[in-house]
Amino acid sequence: STGAAYANLGGMPMILITGQKPIMSSRQARFQIVDVV
């Protein structure tokens, strides 16, 4: 997410292609919950 943070701070336009795993199937579930707008 470093690229997204730099684009947000610099005011640059960006297109993010995001994918989310099912929450209950991963051991790192609580770290992978992201708000996608």
Dihedral of alpha carbons 33, 35, 15, 17, sign: positive
Q: Where are the domains of the chain?
A: 2-31
In this prediction, residue 11 carries a pLDDT of: 65
Give backbone dihedrals phi and psi of 35, rounded to 5 degrees, phi first. -80, 115
**1-37 residue pLDDT tens:** 577 776 766 666 666 666 665 555 555 555 555 555 5
Q: Provide DSSP, 1-31.
A: -HHHHHHHHHT-----------GGG-TTGGG
In this prediction, residue 3 carries a pLDDT of: 72
